[in-house]
Amino acid sequence: MLTKINHIGIAVNSIEEALPYYRDALGMTLTGTEEVASQKVKVAFLVIGESKIELLEPTSPESPVAKFLEKSGPGVHHVAYSVPDIEGAIAKLIASGTRMIDTVPREGAHGAKIAFIHPKSSGGVLTEICQ
């Protein structure tokens, strides 16, 4: 069902302030930034080999990422796996008793179709599948 880890999402207070570490100290390539207005976040993608890091900055105090930062501080927010068929993957997960936050895909960064698994079903790790 899963083909690879697509990205790891990391919550930050400010992408601008986080970039010197990821881009300059670690030497990752910044491939772009984008606002995902529906989820009240700005995201920056950094590439390292086949893998990506997604920095998430809230664009409003009501953003779920702002709430995460308030509760837990900056840090790992979610792990995202690639799937070739997201509707099929959601159906399989539900059939296996996995609780989904999204039973219907929503739009993520780069126009990808994404769905979150409820952390209650994934050992507390917010998990995203994306196509």
108 Cβ contact list (under 8 Å, min separation 6): 36, 39, 114, 128, 130
Q: Is residue 128 part of the contact set for ligand CMX (CB under 6 A)?
A: yes
Could you tell me which stretch among 22-30, 45-53, 88-96, 108-116 binds ligand CMX (CB under 6 A)?
108-116
114 Cβ contact list (under 8 Å, min separation 6): 80, 86, 102, 105, 106, 107, 108, 128, 129, 130, 131
Neighbour-count burial of 74, counting CB atoms closer than 10 A to its CB (0-12 exposed, 13-18 middle, 19+ buried)? middle
Q: Is residue 129 part of the contact set for ligand CMX (CB under 6 A)?
A: no
Q: Is residue 74 part of the contact set for ligand CMX (CB under 6 A)?
A: no
Q: Is residue 43 part of the contact set for ligand CMX (CB under 6 A)?
A: yes
Neighbour-count burial of 37, counting CB atoms closer than 10 A to its CB (0-12 exposed, 13-18 middle, 19+ buried)? exposed
CB of 38 to ligand CMX, least distance (A): 9
The most distant pair of C-alpha atoms in the chain lies apart, rounded to whole Å, by 44
Single residue of 41, 44, 117, 129 touching ligand CMX by CB under 6 A: 41
Could you tell me which stretch among 13-21, 22-30, 34-42, 89-97 binds ligand CMX (CB under 6 A)?
34-42
CB of 125 to ligand CMX, least distance (A): 7
Give me the residues that bind ligand CMX (CB under 6 A), please: 9, 36, 39, 41, 43, 54, 56, 64-65, 68, 77-78, 80, 101, 108-109, 112, 114, 116, 119, 124, 126, 128
